[in-house]
Amino acid sequence: MSTRIVIDHRAGGALRHPEKAHRPDNPIQRKPAWIRVKAPTHPVYRETRDLMRENKLVTVCEEAACPNIGECWSQRHATMMIMGDTCTRACSFCNVRTGQPNPLDADEPNRVADAVAQLGLRHVVITSVDRDDLKDGGAAHFAAVIRAIRAAAPDTTIEVLTPDFLRKPGALEVVAAARPDVFNHNLETVPRLYPTIRPGARYFQSLRLLDEVKRADPSIFTKSGLMVGLGEARTEIMQVMDDLRVADVDFLTLGQYLQPTVKHAAVAEFVTPDAFADYAALARAKGFLLVSATPLTRSSYHADADFAALRAAREAKLATAAA
């Protein structure tokens, strides 16, 4: 991963994160051995990349410089990012371009659905940039994408990873009414770090969104994720787990934060695989239906297999309750 992804060549050499340009550099630490990933060389990786280009689709895999892209795309698993490639927020952990986005593309739902059908996916994850400029935060567009995928690929299960819609009334209900199989909204970090890491968001608002989705339709699986290694304490992570359980969230993901450029938040710590295993055991004990906690875990990493595990865990729980 580049240490200076601050110039955006696709945007004619403009700064990719203009709001971060004045910040002092945070030197990027060398990653430990357990974080290393192989360069993507698999032929299916190239097929997936070409399909995304042909359909003019944006992926969070590329925009966020995800370390798992080689593995995921070699299995045709790409997470499409809708509503453009430019985000109206400026989180200090995120590599997605920031600025003034273009108007929504009304044809995007069909192109996403066509790509899902062509990839032959059993499970797809759709995410987006934050669109605080839109009246509904993009909720109706999310719902249109879900409906288009249902029509083009009826056997594909759908997971959405949404922004918080800037607390816009009715937005989450519009998305929930389109009945995705999984509704994911990441808390990203512990509440104490929100002002520096996720300054445009409010911890309890994000928590409430997850709670309200579950109340709106209990059949939808809810999911949330955190990055660790930003300076949080173990007790703070445990508190977030408790908060998520109170909101009846089913699935928790925990992964290591990696610093995209010198202008982003510094890594405070590389959390060891043993510490991740400890977090996973804690989360299971707290009652999540499913937990994924490894250094390379990302919201959409192994989402296909995880969805099958999630469904099986719910069925096992219901069977136990009925016995």
Closest CA to 76 of 40, 128, 129, 105: 40
Closest distance between ligand SF4 and the C-beta of residue 181, in Å? 16
Q: Give the binding range for ligand SF4 (CB under 6 A) out of 67-75, 95-103, 208-216, 269-277.
A: 67-75
Among 45, 93, 221, 301, binds ligand SF4 (CB under 6 A): 301
Strands 14-15 and 7-8: antiparallel
- Of 279, 265, 274, 175, residue with least CA distance to 226: 279
Q: Is 66 in the site for ligand SF4 (CB under 6 A)?
A: yes
Query: Minimum CB separation from ligand SF4 for residue 136, in Å?
Result: 25
Candidates 243, 317, 238; CA nearest to 280 is 238
Distances (CA, A) of 30 to 1, 33, 38, 95, 275: 11, 9, 16, 18, 19
Instruction: Give me 18's structure tokens.
Output: 């203009």
Residue 167 C-beta: closest distance to ligand SF4, Å: 26
Nearer to ligand SF4, 134 or 271 (CB): 271
Spatial distance between the Cα atoms of 229 and 271, rounded to a whole number of angstroms = 6
Residues that bind ligand SF4 (rule: CB under 6 A) add up to a total of 12
Encoded one letter per residue, x for contact with ligand SF4 by CB under 6 A and - for no contact, window 22-61 reads --------------------------------------xx
Q: Binding to ligand SF4 by residue 294, rule CB under 6 A?
A: no
Query: Is the sign of the CA dihedral 172, 173, 178, 181 positive or negative?
Result: positive
The packing angle between helices 203-216 and 234-246, to 10°, is 30
Minimum distance of ligand SF4 from residue 79's CB (angstroms): 4
User: Nearer to ligand SF4 by C-beta: 18 or 40?
Assistant: 40
Closest CB 25 distance from ligand SF4, rounded Å: 26
> How many CB atoms are closer than 10 A to CB 204?
11
Residues in 86-115 at the binding interface with ligand SF4, rule: CB under 6 A:
none
In the region spanning residues 262 to 291, those forming contacts with ligand SF4, defined by CB under 6 A, are none
Full DSSP string of 261-301: STTSPPP-----HHHHHHHHHHHHHTT-SEEEESTT--TTT
- Interface with ligand SF4 by CB under 6 A: which range of 6-14, 32-40, 196-204, 293-301? 293-301
Q: Is 79 in the site for ligand SF4 (CB under 6 A)?
A: yes
Q: Does residue 256 belong to the site contacting ligand SF4 (CB under 6 A)?
A: no
Residue 69 makes contact with ligand SF4 by CB under 6 A = yes
Interface residues with ligand SF4 (CB under 6 A) are 60-61, 66, 68-69, 72, 77-79, 298, 300-301
